[in-house]
Amino acid sequence: MFLSCNKDKSLNSNYLIFGHYFGFCAGEQCIEIFKLNSSSLFEDTNDKYPNSNNFYNANYTSLSNDKFNLVKDLADDFPSDLLSEKNITIGQPDAGDWGGYYIEYSKNGIHKFWLIDKMTSNLPAKYHAFLSKVEKKIGLLQ
């Protein structure tokens, strides 16, 4: 009876997780996953290849305020159309060794994630601007 009153606090926190991954790649830069909330930025240290079965299992470490300031506006450009997508996988991420994006969204009890192709020709045009910005922000953080 009391358990029904408990809420999962992770669903009540607002954040955007973004990053890219490459399967046939060597080095730390092959998998870069970041978590952004309204006041902080974190980087994952696990660097595990994401899958479509579960949310990414990360181990985050806090990054500097300077790095946060480089990316703090990214969530403003999140395409709300993603929330209506029926599939977790969009396009063919990393199918030809060109990589994929991992995007996770948590806001106001909505919690979803996607694996998205890095090759824009395999994606709806409505996502191009956001993913281009994701790529630029990852570059700024490396």
Q: Which pLDDT score, from 0 to 100, does residue 49 have?
A: 92
CA–CA gap between residue 44 and residue 47 (Å, rounded) = 6
45-81 per-position pLDDT tens digit: 999 999 999 999 999 999 999 999 999 999 999 999 9
Assign a CATH topology to domain 12-141.
Answer: Mago nashi protein (3.30.1560)
32-41 per-position pLDDT tens digit: 999 999 999 9
Whole-Å CA distances, 117 to 49, 63, 93: 14, 27, 4
CA–CA gap between residue 126 and residue 108 (Å, rounded) = 23
Structure tokens belonging to residue 31: 């998998």
- Identify the weakest region by mean pLDDT among 10-24, 87-101, 118-132: 10-24
- Beta bridge pairs of residue 44: 60
pTM recorded for the entire structure: 0.89
